[in-house]
Amino acid sequence: MDDCSALIRKQKEYFETGATRPLDFRLTALRKLGDAIRAREGDLLEALRQDLNKSAFEAYASEIGIVLKEIRFVAKRLRAWMRPRKVKTPLTHVGSRGAIYSEPYGVALIVAPWNFPFQLAVAPLVGAIAAGNCAVIKPSELTPRTSAALAALIRDVFDEAYVAVVPGDAETSRSLLAEPVDYIFFTGGTAVGQLVMEAASKRLTPVTLELGGKSPCLVHEDANLRLAAKRIAWGKFMNAGQTCIAPDYLYVHESVLQPFLGHLKRAIAELYGEQPLANRAYTRIVSDKHFRRLQAFLGSGTVATGGKTDAEALRIEPTVLTGISPDDPVMADEIFGPILPVLAYRELDPVLAAIRGRPKPLALYLFSESKAVQSQVLAKVSFGGGCVNDTVYHFTSPYLPFGGVGGSGMGAYHGRSSFDLFSHRKSVLKQTTKFDLPFRYPNAKHALKRIKRFLK
């Protein structure tokens, strides 16, 4: 698209002026962004309600508030992060000084998903701004009101030569990916992530992929069952399960399966009421296509709780399925909805082997009081990040890098990790001219003998 090409050229030209590099410029941009979000909080909340029926509480806690927290955290520490980081030099480099400089890439393309359409567009933007880049955001067409609200906010705060929002469908994404941007940050499904990486490979553009996968959750026999049930219900059914790090399937030790299911049913009722479909604050499924895909999963196993649907309102009750086989359709791909399949286990090792037999998940959750069990699980399973005795909460810590591994993605952000992600770390050695070590040169006397001694 000609418009995409013109925009990228405009941003590249602006970046080359050096305007985005000074600390004061970056801090001012972050402050303006935070102020605009606070001023438009009502508009954003309403847009999220219209697109996904998110309650004000859920929308603020998981979208707006978390972004404002990220802005404050980054702005407070940015000066220190921008300083060149001094490093040691070996004996062979006596007289020299080494340092790592963080420099912006240039124009960053941020392709955002629909499930947290504000937070997952703006949180990466905070990192891009902090690192001194220009940025183009491509929001999801499945949440048009939030995309429009975001576009209006950015348009009022920043010149498009610095930060711009480009709404559109998949064709718009393809057009932007074909442009010579300097960094690509994508959040979405694995299949599209592969296409993004393929597009990036044509120009060897560095890329971050925040994908998903089937994130397992384990409840061991020694777990605090009541608290585990409450935290699993919260992590699984927030946003109607449309969360990339939601527990996707649950292994429960057979000795505690029945009491745990009782706690889980009560926890769901406490969070969403006895009739969740009548709860006006309960999030809806994003589209009819996704609704029908999820509805088909209800035929797997036995419904232990939930199972009711409202096709007109695009809502599905928080649903727990038991009697599940690893071969059931609900276990094939990431669910991304309010359906939780539960499997029983007796021994831990076969469970860990089964998890390792799948693509590496974005998250893993374990509920156990045993340090030995905790160590065993953490050592034997590779995953992006996760929690012990909680779900999802690791995502909200600015001190913990968030990202996937293998099929669940590459690269990590949040806090300092966001600044590092959108920065090229340039290594520089400053050498003295007061003396010159002769052994480095091939014509020095006994050069080989000396170089061997230094490089032992």
The gap between the terminal CA atoms of the chain, to the nearest Å, is: 57
Model pLDDT for residues 139-198, shown as the tens digit of each residue = 999 999 999 999 999 999 999 999 999 999 999 999 999 999 999 999 999 999 999 999
Model pLDDT for residues 201-246, shown as the tens digit of each residue = 999 999 999 999 999 999 999 999 999 999 999 999 999 999 999 9
Residues spanned by CATH 3.40.605.10 within the chain? Answer: 2-211+409-428
216 has which bridge partners?
249
Q: What is the mean pLDDT of the chain?
A: 96
Which one-letter amino acid corresponds to residue 361? P
Q: Is 134 labeled as catalytic in the residue annotation?
A: no
Residues 218 and 367: beta-carbon distance below 8 Å: yes
Model pLDDT for residues 238-285, shown as the tens digit of each residue = 999 999 999 999 999 999 999 999 999 999 999 999 999 999 999 999
Please give the CATH number for the structural domain made up of 2-211+409-428. 3.40.605.10
Q: Quickly state the pLDDT bin for 43 (edges 50, 70, 90).
A: very high
Whether the per-residue pLDDT at 451 is higher than 80: the answer is: no
Model pLDDT for residues 301-359, shown as the tens digit of each residue = 999 999 999 999 999 999 999 999 999 999 999 999 999 999 999 999 999 999 999 99
Write down the pLDDT at residue 448.
75
Model pLDDT for residues 54-82, shown as the tens digit of each residue = 999 999 999 999 999 999 999 999 999 99
Q: Is 210 labeled as catalytic in the residue annotation?
A: yes
Write down the pLDDT at residue 428.
97
Average pLDDT over residues 405-433: 97
Q: Cα(367)–Cα(256) distance, rounded to whole angstroms? A: 12
Residues spanned by CATH 3.40.309.10 within the chain? Answer: 216-403
Mapping DSSP onto H, E and C, the string for the chain reads CHHHHHHHHHHHHHHHCCCCCCHHHHHHHHHHHHHHHHHCHHHHHHHHHHHHCCCHHHHHHHHHHHHHHHHHHHHHHHHHHHCCEEECCCHHHCCCEEEEEEEECCEEEEECCCCCCCHHHHHHHHHHHHCCCEEEEECCCCCHHHHHHHHHHHHHHCCCCCEEECCCCHHHHHHHHCCCCCEEEEECCHHHHHHHHHHHHCCCCCEEEECCCCCEEEECCCCCHHHHHHHHHHHHHHHHHCCCCCCCEEEEEHHHHHHHHHHHHHHHHHHHCCCHHHCCCCCCCCCHHHHHHHHHHCCCCEEEECCCEECCCCEECCEEEECCCCCCHHHCCCCCCCEEEEEEECCHHHHHHHHHCCCCCCEEEEECCCHHHHHHHHHHCCCCEEEECCCCHHHHCCCCCEECCHHHEECEECCHHHHHHCEEEEEEEECCCCCCCHHHCCCCCCHHHHHHHHCC
Write down the pLDDT at residue 453.
74
Q: What's the whole-model pTM score? A: 0.95
Q: Which residues contact 80 (CB under 8 A, 6 or more apart)?
A: none
Residues 126 and 117: beta-carbon distance below 8 Å: no
Whether the per-residue pLDDT at 450 is higher than 60: the answer is: yes
Candidates 4, 134, 217, 244; catalytic one? 244
Whether the per-residue pLDDT at 419 is higher than 60: the answer is: yes
Residue that wins the pLDDT comparison between 91 and 184: 184
Model pLDDT for residues 102-116, shown as the tens digit of each residue = 999 999 999 999 999
Select 216-403's CATH number: 1.10.357.10, 3.40.190.10, 1.10.10.10, 3.40.309.10. Answer: 3.40.309.10
Whether the per-residue pLDDT at 1 is higher than 70: the answer is: no
Candidates 210, 221, 317, 334; catalytic one? 210
Average pLDDT over residues 38-50: 98
